[in-house]
Structure 1
Amino acid sequence: MDSILQRAADGGRITPEEALLLYTDAPFHALGEAADAVRRRRYPDGIVTYLIDRNINYTNVCVTACKFCAFFRAPKHKEGWAHPMEEILHRCGEAIDLGATQVMLQGGHHPEFGVEYYEDLFSNVKQAYPQLAIHSIGPSEILHMAKVSGVSLEEAILRIKAAGLDSIAGAGAEMLPDRPRQAIAPLKESGARWIEVMTIAHRNGLSSTATMMMGTGETNIERIEHIRMIRDCQDLAVANGYRDDAVETSHQVGGFRAFIPWTYQPENNHLKGRTQATTMEYLRFIAVSRLFFDNVAHLQASWLTTGKDVGQLALHLGVDDLGSIMLEENVISSAGARHRSNLHELIWMIRTAGRIPAQRETLYRHLAVHYTEADDPTDERVVSHYSSIAMPEGGRKNLPLVEVQ
């Protein structure tokens, strides 16, 4: 155990079998210390980043009916909706006013939305707000749009990239191994197909993030298999020298920029919380992920699903990014995630963990480093919203502002 931990802490590669051993049996403090050693070596400046963005859902109509999802409605359901372009652009404008640099445009697998819909969506947003990075959709949506339009995956990716998509979200990964994926999302593509889409995107100059949802009944072995599949995909990106076309420096390797594990939320869905990941399972997995991903630069804590105290603790287990102040989030909050924060609190969480807060943009370039409290932003309107503010009728609704505690 000590030998494996030392090799991983020094930047050496560990096998999936060794990762499983560390996950199940390594002493917690030794595991965390090794993971934090990796973080310190990668980021000796002690900086932990955050982002200001907004998740805008264009529709809740979806044909995949995933058992863990509380957000979707079946086609022709009376509660199904799709926002008009005017509403989406209005929300993008609100986000920019509050300092957002990124939007995540995400929605269900609408039976009528092919590549043409997404070309129109991305091009309109980019034309109206060229300063916004569009970090959006995931492999599932790309497979769906290609099927609706009757085109190849490569053509779909090239077309939406040309329309303005800057980066692909890690959405839809959930659990990549076959058994747990079939159990929770039987109508979705396989994990192998998810990886295939990411590989094609990386090859064509679009980098992405990768995610994992814990707590729906998967085994420890399957959790490790999930990150094994992602690491193998990243090995391919590194070996072939895939670049992110959005980055000017030629040495920037594309592929996966960050890994973001999060925990299943149990409300208003078919799984009903029968199985969930514990806080300790999550924290141990965070540490193992930092040791396992010798080829993925960043590790993000999901305070939105685990809570701010757990998110801050994760900063001592290899995490270098605390995610975002989401000005809007509808999907996870529909399933019961009620954690919220504001910009001042997120910065406080980073600073009191002994780190230096820095606002970043999509590709992790620093926009502002807050070395002292005098460097901190002063906009008290920047708060996250755990509850949905999507309106079924598509009418406008300004962001509600709350007082900062």
Structure 2
Amino acid sequence: MKKRIISKILEGERLNEDEALKLFDFDLAELGYLARIVRFKLNPERIVTYVVDRNINYTNICISGCKFCAFYKPPGSPDGYVLSFEELGKKIEETLALGGYQILLQGGLHPDLSLEFYERMLGFIKTHYPQIHVHGFSPPEIVHFSKKSGLSIEEVLRRLIKSGLDSIPGGGAEILSDRVRGLLSPNKATSEEWLKVMEIAHKLGLKTTATMMFGHIETREEIVEHLLKIRNLQDKTGGFTAFIPWTFQPKNTKLHYLTKVGSVEYLRVLAISRIVLDNIRNIQVSWVTQGPHIAQIALEFGGNDFGSTMIEENVVAATGVSHRLSEEQIRHYIKSAGYIPKRRKMDYTIIE
């Protein structure tokens, strides 16, 4: 079976579920070799892209209570906050001053904020900073807005788009298995709801990314289940611009007793993702969780995008993991790994 799998990959044929699962038994170097072949078929040039942006968490108040999150605060917590529009504006101005052109806007599932609040927030951004691309609101947030407002997911998305939403990040996917979600985040969007938000967003013309957080209680079968659900939706809509797998960071979470997944497993899953997701052109490496040197190695395991400068990042930092890179440093790491760094937009248009 192994020879057949290798032959299919080399010939550009799609792997089925059993074959994808078998990849976990491959030697790490073999996986890297095969993932690199797929990467260069989809992206023939030695270009590695990145985006200059800032993560802005407009609130940390959340009723989801996910066991893997060290960032959220329950309603009523003295450490809870909601950013004022003035504070939001200052963060955007700092981003623009550093050459940024995009913000990743995400928050918790706040029990009291109305859909009109989010519309006003988008309106404020677009009125004062029309040049900023708003990559905002993960599918669980959209589902939360829908349930709170009593409107359909499509109506919520139409209203947010009208107010200035440009694209949607792939956060809140974790593992798209309802067994895992039931144990880790029972108050959050189901895998079906996550996929439904993305399908409707794509239908309405929004581009989105997809993510996977692994290295906690999931099985290898569930990792493959996740990848195939993403691949199937991409077949249907073509709306995902990139896939971003990253490892769970247990410190300061309710799952602190779990052993942190090492870089070998990260590289293995990254390579498998590149091989299986034959219809998503870009795979992003995670220097935020792995550090810049493993991220460089990940470029030899199928990755072709170095992600974001992340002028600000709070969620992973809350677990005690904090890697910081300037645009200059990102370009250095890409070049020293033997690649050509290029700025990009969210849709992977190159900015010269």
Per-residue deviation at 1:358? 0.6
Q: Does 1:340 align with 2:324?
A: yes
Residues 177 and 187 of structure 1: is their aligned pair in 2 closer, same or farther, counting only changes over 3 Å?
Answer: same
Post-superposition CA distance 1:14-65 (Å, at most 9, x none): 112111101x211222211111111112222210001110011111110101
* Aligned counterpart in structure 1 of residue 313 of structure 2, from 329, 333, 342: 329
Could you say which residue in structure 2 is the equivalent of 1:7? 8
Structure 1 residue 344 displacement after superposition: 2.2
Distance in 1 (alpha carbons) for counterparts of 2:245 and 2:114: 29
Question: Within 2, Cα distance between the matches of 1:336 and 1:228?
Answer: 32
Q: How does 1:192-341 map to 2 (within 5 A)?
A: 192-238=192-238, 255-341=239-325
Report SS of the residue matched to 2:316. Answer: helix
- Structure 2: how far apart are the matches of 1:9 and 1:329? 38
What CA distance in whole angstroms lies between the structure 1 residues aligned with 2:257 and 2:249? 7
1:8 shift after superposition: 1.9
Q: Give the 5 Å matches for 1:111-150.
A: 111-150=111-150
Change in 2 beyond 3 A, CA 1:33/1:125: same
- Counterpart AA for 1:14: L
- Tell me, in whole angstroms, the C-alpha distance in 1 between the residues paired with 2:341 and 2:145: 38
- The gaps in structure 1 that reach 5 residues or longer are 239-254, 369-405
Letter aligned with residue 10 of structure 1: E
> Which residue pairs with 1:106 in the alignment?
106
- Are 1:357 and 2:330 counterparts? no
Hey, what does 1:394 align to over in structure 2?
none
Q: Distance in 1 between matches of 2:80 and 2:45?
A: 48
1:2, CA displacement in angstroms?
2.8
Q: Distance in 1 between matches of 2:68 and 2:163?
A: 31
Q: Distance in 2 between matches of 1:196 and 1:165?
A: 18
**1:63 maps to which residue?**
63
The residue aligned with 2:36 is 36
Alpha carbons 1:5, 1:31 under 8 Å: kept = no
The structural deviation recorded for 1:367 is 0.9
Amino acid at match of 2:67: K
Give the TM-score, by structure 1 length: 0.85
Which structure has the higher relative contact order (CA within 8 Å, separation 6+)? 2
- Partner in structure 2 of residue 174 of structure 1: 174
Q: Are 1:347 and 1:357, in contact at CA under 8 Å, matched by a contact in 2?
A: yes
Residue aligned with 2:347, SS: coil
AA at the equivalent of 2:65: A
Structure 1 CA distance, aligned partners of 2:344 and 2:270?
21
Contact 1:217 1:276 in 2 (8 A): no
Conservation of the 8 A alpha-carbon contact between 1:266 and 1:336: no
How far apart are 1:273 and its partner, in Å?
4.2
The offset of 1:5, in angstroms, is 2.2
Shift of 1:277: 2.2
Q: What TM-score do you get using the length of structure 2 for normalisation?
A: 0.97
Equivalent pairs counted in the alignment come to 351
CA distance in 1, matches of 2:10, 2:298: 17
**SS of corresponding position for 2:52:** strand
CA-CA distance at 1:280 after TM superposition: 1.2
Measure, in 2, the Cα distance between the counterparts of 1:193 and 1:228: 16
**Structure 1 residue identity aligned to 2:291:** G
Structure 1 residue 86: Cα displacement: 0.8
1:182-197 paired onto structure 2 within 5 Å = 182-197=182-197
Tell me if the contact between 1:301 and 1:311 (Cα under 8 Å) persists in the aligned partners.
yes
Secondary structure, aligned partner of 2:211:
strand
Deviation sequence 1:70-114 (CA, Å, 0-9, x none)? 111111111111111111011111101101111011111111123
Structure 2: distance between partners of 1:230 and 1:43: 20
Cα distance in 1 between the residues matched to 2:41 and 2:143 = 38
Moved more, 38-47 or 224-233: 38-47
Aligned to 1:46: 46
Match of 1:19 in 2: 20
Q: Write the distance in 1 (CA, Å) between the matches of 2:180 and 2:47.
A: 36
Retained in 1: the 8 A contact 2:43–2:281? no
Letter in 2 for 1:47: I
**SS of residue in 2 equivalent to 1:326:** coil
SS at match of 1:304: helix
- Could you tell me how far apart the structure 2 residues matched to 1:2 and 1:347 are? 38
Given that 1:114 and 1:147 are in contact with CA atoms closer than 8 Å, whether structure 2 keeps it comes out as no
Where 1:165 maps in the other structure, the secondary structure is coil
* Contact 1:184–1:216, Cα closer than 8 Å, also in 2: no
Q: Hey, what's the Cα distance between the residues in 2 that align with 1:280 and 1:26? A: 13
Question: Which of 335-344 and 207-216 deviates more?
Answer: 335-344
Asked if the contact 1:48/1:356 (under 8 Å) is kept, the reply is yes
